[in-house]
């Protein structure tokens, strides 16, 4: 048994799984550009983690830029690619609320984590890892008692908020590679 047996992996979406559109929203499947190495990383994670879940704020819905159906189409297309390459994602959770609404379900609030626990009662947050690229992702992880992995530059969030970041990697692929070692 490896050290992550029974662990749950929570993943942010934009900037971690797909390229972030700065100042814009991914509203069509062709705009969802998977970051290099992500499909291979998800295949690796599938052999390590009991559950792999995506948690994503999607205020583009709240702004009327896309519909729930548009988001579902984007995620279905991505999940097909994940499955076709030998990976898996057990669930995708999203919050369509605008940031100013301060929804319980919008990260950094913990609603999506609690919804996932309701769907998968075996989840233990002290045996979970939140992977993200923003302060909100790290707060979400810490507020639920998870370990946190920051994806991105060490000079950003990790240096400003070291108490929120347990590990930092330049990409999801590098994080996955360290698990194999």
Task: Kindly report the backbone phi and psi dihedral angles of residue 125, in degrees, each rounded to the nearest multiple of 5, phi listed first.
Answer: -65, -25
**Catalytic option among 12, 24, 153, 166:** 12
Annotation marks residue 24 as catalytic = no
Is 123:51 a contact under the CB 8 Å cutoff? yes
Q: Which two tokens stand for residue 163?
A: 């108490």
Is 157:150 a contact under the CB 8 Å cutoff? yes
Give the largest Cα separation in the chain, rounded. Answer: 47
**Catalytic option among 14, 70, 119, 153:** 14
Coil, strand or helix at 103: coil
Annotation marks residue 12 as catalytic = yes
User: What amino acid positions are annotated as catalytic residues?
Assistant: 12, 14
């Amino acid at each position: 048994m490896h050290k992550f047996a029974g662990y749950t992996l929570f993943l942010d979406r934009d900037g971690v799984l797909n390229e972030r559109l700065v100042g814009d929203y991914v509203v069509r499947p062709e705009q969802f550009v998977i970051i290099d190495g992500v499909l291979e990383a998800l295949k690796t994670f599938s052999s390590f983690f009991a559950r792999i879940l995506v948690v994503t704020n999607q205020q583009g819905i709240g702004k009327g830029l896309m519909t729930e159906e548009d988001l579902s189409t984007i995620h279905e297309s991505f999940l097909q690619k994940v499955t076709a390459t030998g990976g898996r994602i057990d669930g995708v959770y999203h919050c369509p609320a605008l940031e100013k609404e301060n929804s319980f379900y919008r990260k950094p609030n913990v609603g999506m984590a609690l919804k996932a626990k309701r769907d998968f009662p075996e989840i233990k947050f002290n045996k979970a890892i939140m992977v993200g690229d923003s302060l909100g992702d790290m707060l979400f992880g810490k507020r639920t008692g998870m370990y946190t992995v920051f994806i991105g530059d060490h000079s950003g969030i990790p240096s400003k908020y070291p108490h929120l970041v347990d590990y930092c990697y330049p990409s999801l692929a590098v994080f996955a590679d360290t698990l194999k070692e």
